[in-house]
């Protein structure tokens, strides 16, 4: 019926012209298996706390992880249309930085993944 349930509301996706598609504060992507996936939730599923150093950001998007977890988490940055803009897995002493100085001003979504799943995500503003 071209409808999906997001945050307790029923959204009509029949007007979607492309995937990923932004509705109701969520970016939804239609997977090749026909299932819907959300890009960018706030829930940290790893038990590790990740902290963004500055928000809004001008030049360098920095994240700190609060543990000695040896996993090599990858951080990906997406624009509001779901296009991947940057990525890095270069953690140094629990901190990772990504140069965003050349990106245009706007709202971006970041995800942190462990190779199998997204364990944390959020939004930041580039000024």
The dihedral built from the CA positions of residue 88, 92, 95 and 98, taken in this order, carries a sign that is negative
Mean pLDDT, residues 11-37 taken together: 52
Residues 6+ apart with CB under 8 A from 35: none
| Predicted TM-score (pTM) above 0.75 | no
pLDDT at 52: 87
Mean pLDDT, residues 84-104 taken together: 95
Is pLDDT at 72 greater than 60 in this prediction?
A: yes
**Helix, strand or coil for residue 39?**
strand
**Helix, strand or coil for residue 45?**
coil
pLDDT at 82: 93
Question: How many C-beta neighbours within 10 Å does residue 118 have?
Answer: 20
Q: Which residue has the higher pLDDT, 52 or 110?
A: 110
pLDDT in tens, 79-92: 999 999 999 999 99
pLDDT at 35: 59
Q: Domains, the chain, ranges and CATH?
A: 3-39 (no CATH), 50-126 (2.60.40.10)
Is pLDDT at 20 greater than 60 in this prediction?
A: no
pLDDT in tens, 25-69: 444 555 556 555 544 434 444 566 788 888 899 999 999 887 777
Q: Are the C-beta atoms of residues 75 and 96 closer than 8 Å to each other?
A: yes
Mean per-residue pLDDT over the chain, rounded: 76
Is pLDDT at 95 greater than 50 in this prediction?
A: yes
DSSP secondary structure, 61-107, as one string: EEEEESS------EEEEEETTS-EEEEE---BTTEEEEE-TTSPSEE
């Amino acid at each position: 019926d071209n409808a999906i349930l997001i945050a307790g509301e029923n959204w009509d996706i029949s007007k979607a012209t492309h995937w990923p598609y932004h509705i109701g504060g969520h970016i939804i992507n239609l997977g090749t298996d026909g299932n819907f996936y959300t890009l960018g939730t706030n829930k940290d599923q790893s038990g590790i706390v990740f902290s963004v150093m500055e928000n809004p950001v001008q030049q360098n998007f920095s994240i700190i992880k609060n543990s000695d977890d040896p996993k090599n988490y990858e951080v990906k940055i997406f624009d509001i249309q779901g296009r991947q803009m940057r990525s890095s897995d270069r953690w140094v002493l629990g901190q990772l930085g990504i140069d965003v100085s050349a990106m245009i001003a706007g709202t971006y979504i970041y995800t942190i993944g462990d190779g199998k799943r997204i364990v944390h995500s959020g939004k930041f503003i580039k000024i």
